[in-house]
A and B are shown apart, each in its own frame.
Chain A
């Protein structure tokens, strides 16, 4: 049989990255971001606060999903970067008179930079050891900050001086809103570009079978490192937003910026939304946001019990998460991160 005869029998195949659905959705999303930029003109304080909170949750969820869903890295210690981001903003804006929102932007760089030495320590570890290791690193940072009198010690610190000197509460609210929206959009964009790049394919390979990927020349540690730095930067930004919001922060205790409950929220959002999908964390963030905003008040004490119940329910009945299940059932992809064979 000649080569020609064989190839004549195979149908021609096209590799497609964008479909009509994903193309239109991406455009719509970009449009939405544009519209949301005008929100401060259209909506009042309450809505702005709520939306800022939503963007904040989206950032957290995206970052945790980047690590766990795309990199196979289950980090229980992202709060290390959240806390350091918050403290960095105080340090820069209060001690060194850096303009607050510039300091907040720098929090991304600081978070990313911090991820390098921390990553050097933890990225060698696998599985459960990695998870506990990251948690311990966060605890160490929490303790070190609590012991440092110049940073305010155990009673925490505040960005009051830096912010209130320059902005009215109303201005602070708007600026923080735009910052959060911008940060979320930029991180979404960076992650999107990353996943569509060669690194994205490498990560998929690492996720499927790390040893096989390594034997094919995939730089496993480098791939994980890039993700870890991105997540560090993103969580640093999240910490900055917390600071701009609350102004006062604590390094330890139940409301600590270094608290493991931040990770708990991330786990909830990502697993409820859909691990390893691009849209899933956004769905999860929306779910948590809706629950927090509309049920926390009326339910009071039972709110947390309900939250736990939702977590268990999703784990039992929708193990792939809400979006993961939708994606599987209807084979829908709204954002073109993968490939389709037609």
Chain B
């Protein structure tokens, strides 16, 4: 594989990360909640789709028609019952709640579905590939996932900037108390944000399951990549999350090109470098470093 090939695959990988990270970004941007259970929720999406496929016999793509609305409802209820109350306790309490959810979900999945590995068929798209150059072939599936990530983020941006719900979401994210003063029901707004986040997580989970086999223990490694994507892209920015995912994906594939074992390490190093660069710049820039070494 040439370097260009690695970059292209990195971009496509970034699409996967961005799809998973979108919900994370939304929940953190609007409610300052670090949802440790996000990966588990994505996995539940995969398992629910698996059930629908098993019992109804349709393809996973069709199953989404049932799973996604279900996820919206589940997210809404989750916020109104558990997360809303946690927020009232303080900034760190949602960490405990989502941690609890993570454990409960992971172990319940283990119990009901056993540790067996399963898979979802990705249909004809799953095996089709696209020849770009003589050395470079990409899977149509990966292109599809990137496309879906862009569509989801684009759709959310439209929602946020062109609808009343979007204005209320952004206002509540900025200043929930003042939003209430102009008539916004902050709790309902938060619930809608979580609903969207959970639905996007489920979507990401389904595509993850179509790409590779999954079992109840899958997920934690991907979760840290999703968090990295959100932070690289800048908290509060959805397009930033896409960019962050792509930057991370490219760093990882290029690192793997140097040495297969450097895959994750390369991503982490780039992540840290970007954060340090930003922090130094915010603290006064290169002058500080010069002064420190003068």
Contacts and interface: CB of A to CB of B under 8 A. Distances in A.
Asked if A and B touch directly (CB within 8 angstroms), the answer is yes
A124 B88 contact: no
Q: What is the predominant secondary structure among interface residues of chain A facing chain B?
A: helix
Interface string A35-68: 0000000000000000000000000000000001
A315 B97 CA distance: 6
Interface stretch (B12-20, B159-167, B275-283): B275-283
Contacts of B89: 315, 319-320
B51 interface: no
Interface stretch (B127-135, B139-147, B262-270): B262-270
Interface residues of B, number: 46
A139 B92 CA distance: 23
A139 B227 CA distance: 13
B101 A312 contact: yes
A262 interface: no
Contacts, number: 125
Interface string A268-279: 100110010000
Contact of A128 (B34, B110, B265, B280): B34
Contact of B275 (A125, A139, A310, A320): A125
A52 to B, nearest CB: 25
Given A124-B283, A304-B103, A136 B110 contact: no
B104 interface: yes
Contact of A268 (B88, B96, B104): B96
A232 B78 CA distance: 36
Interface of B is mostly: helix
B66 interface: no
Interface in B95-117: 95-97, 99-104, 106-108, 110-111
A143 B96 contact: no
A307 B92 contact: no
A29 interface: no
A264 B36 CA distance: 10
15 contacts: A124-B275, A124-B276, A127-B32, A136-B271, A139-B264, A140-B265, A267-B99, A305-B108, A308-B100, A309-B100, A315-B85, A315-B94, A316-B97, A319-B86, A320-B89
